[in-house]
Amino acid sequence: MIMSTKPTQLHGFDVERIKKQFPALNSQVNGKPISFLDSAASAQKPDAVIEAMAKVQREHYANVHRGLYKYSQDTTTAFEQARHTVATFLNANSDNETIFTRNATEAINLVAASWGAENLTSDDEIILTVLEHHANIVPWHMLREKIGFKIKVVPICDDGAIDLDAYQKLLTDKVKFVGLTHMSNAMGTILPVKQMTEMAKAFGATVLIDASQAVVHMDVDVQNVDCDFLCFTGHKLYGPTGIGVLWAREDVLNNMRPYQGGGEMIEKVSFEEITYKDAPARFEAGTPAIVEAIGLGAAIDWLGQFDTADIQAHERDILDYAIQEMQKINGVTLYGPDDRASILSFNIDGVHPHDAGTIFDQMGVAVRAGHHCAQPLMQALNVSSTIRASFAIYNARNDVDRLIEAVNKVKKLFC
C-alpha cells in the first residue's frame, strides 16, 4: 500500500530560517519544543500575515466600498488587492471571479444553495467521492432532502487511490454535478482532477473542486483544470481563519441567485423590487472579513517567495523519511497511496488514536487523532479513526524523529 523511498538530504531550503518566521513554533509545550504536525487542520501563521493584519487595524482600518474618506479608501484598496492576489494565485481570468467567503465550507454551501437549488431536479444524479471532507458531503445531503436527487459515490482502490474505473462507470447523462476533493485531508491522496473534470464534462456535468489541501502543497490553476467551481480556505494556507474563497467564471456567477441578502450585494432596494449587483459583490452580503482577506493576501504573497517545486521536494522528503522510519516499527498500520502529499495517517495496534494523541502531546508532538471530518472514508478503511501527522513548509526531519520517538513511547506504555 505504501511506497518507501530512501530519503535524500535536501540543500538550499533553510527550514530553520522559515520556522523562525512563525512565532507559535518558537515556544514550548509541556516544557518541550513544539513539533507541530497538524497543519492539515490549520496551519501556523508567519509574521508577515500577523503584521499585515495588525497594520491595517493600526493605521487605517475602516469599512470598505462605502466611505469617501482616506481610511476607507486605503482599506478598500488593500482589500481589493487581496482579491487580485487570490485571482492571480488561481490563474483566474478576472478578479470578479473570486468570491470571499468565511471558509471552504461556506463556499460549498453557497454553490449548493444557489447553483444546486436552481439546476438540480429529482431526476438528476450527482457524484461525490468517498474521500470527501464532510463539507463536500453534508450540503449536498441537505439539498437532496429538499429536491430528491441521487448521490453516487466513487470508491477508492485497495491502495487508497481513487478508483477511476468505478468513476467512469458512474458517469451517465443523468449526472449533472460532480464534487471532487483535489487532495484528501485524511490520507493525502491526490486526485487527477483535470482528468476527472474532463471525464465529467463529456457527459455535460458541472464540476466543483475542493482545493483546501491542494493549494498549500501544489500549484492550482483553474484554467488548466477547467472546472466550473473551485474553493479553498485561508487558515490552511498560512492565513487567518474566517476567510475562504470560491472561484467560478464571471458569467456563471452572474447567472446564479444570491446566496444571502443584505448590504453590499444590492443595486436598488424598495419594498416592491430589489436588484442585485454582479459578482463578486452579489455573493458578499454585509460587511466582509476585511482584515482576514488582507491576511490571506499576505499569506499568498509570503508563500510566493518560494518555488512550488522546492516546497514539494522538501515536503516529499519529510514524508518519505516518515514512511521509512514508521515502517521499521512493528504493529503500525499506514494508510495511503503512493500518489499523495504531506500526510501520514496511521494506527498503532491495540491503542486508541486519542490515547496516542494524548501521549504525543505530553512529548510536545501535535497531531490529529479522530475521523478528520471524513467518516465515510474511515468506514471504507474499516476503522473508526486514525492518527494523522501532516507536514508543512516549516517542518523538518527532526520533527519526524520526535514523532517516531512518541510512537515508540506509546507502544512501550500500551503494548
Residues whose CB falls within 8 Å of the CB of residue 148, separated by 6 or more in sequence, listed in order: 122
Residues whose CB falls within 8 Å of the CB of residue 184, separated by 6 or more in sequence, listed in order: 131, 190, 191, 213, 340, 343, 374, 377
Decide if 43 is inside a domain.
no
Same domain flag for 278 and 194:
yes
Report the distance separating Cα 201 and Cα 179, nearest Å: 12
Domain enclosing residue 376, as ranges:
15-33+307-414
Question: What average pLDDT does the segment 271-282 reach?
Answer: 96
Closest CA to 115 of 240, 270, 231: 231
Q: Quick one: pLDDT at residue 27?
A: 87
Q: Quick one: pLDDT at residue 13?
A: 76
Report the distance separating Cα 84 and Cα 193, nearest Å: 24
Question: What average pLDDT does the segment 270-296 reach?
Answer: 97
Same domain flag for 294 and 314:
no
**At 311, which CATH number?**
3.90.1150.10
Q: Quick one: pLDDT at residue 2?
A: 32
Domain final position from 252, 281, 303: 303
Same domain flag for 287 and 358:
no
Same domain flag for 209 and 229:
yes
Q: Quick one: pLDDT at residue 341?
A: 96
Q: Quick one: pLDDT at residue 12?
A: 57
88-138 pLDDT, tens per residue?
999 999 999 999 999 999 999 999 999 999 999 999 999 999 999 999 999
Please identify every residue annotated as catalytic. 373
359-393 pLDDT, tens per residue?
999 999 999 999 999 999 999 999 999 999 999 99
Decide if 339 is inside a domain.
yes
What cell numbers appear for 238 in the block? Answer: 498560512
Report the distance separating Cα 139 and Cα 175, nearest Å: 17
Q: What is the mean pLDDT of the chain?
A: 95
Q: Quick one: pLDDT at residue 28?
A: 87
3-state secondary structure of 125: strand
298-344 pLDDT, tens per residue?
999 999 999 999 999 999 999 999 999 999 999 999 999 988 999 99
Decide if 208 is inside a domain.
yes
Same domain flag for 133 and 263:
yes
**At 216, which CATH number?**
3.40.640.10
Residue type, 371: H
pLDDT of 1 > 50? The answer is no
Q: How many structural domains does the chain have?
A: 2
What cell numbers appear for 215 in the block? Answer: 493549494
Decide if 101 is inside a domain.
yes
Report the distance separating Cα 337 and Cα 110, nearest Å: 32
Same domain flag for 26 and 82:
no
Q: Quick one: pLDDT at residue 5?
A: 33
Q: Quick one: pLDDT at residue 253?
A: 98
Q: Quick one: pLDDT at residue 30?
A: 85
pLDDT of 4 > 50? The answer is no
Question: What average pLDDT does the segment 276-280 reach?
Answer: 96
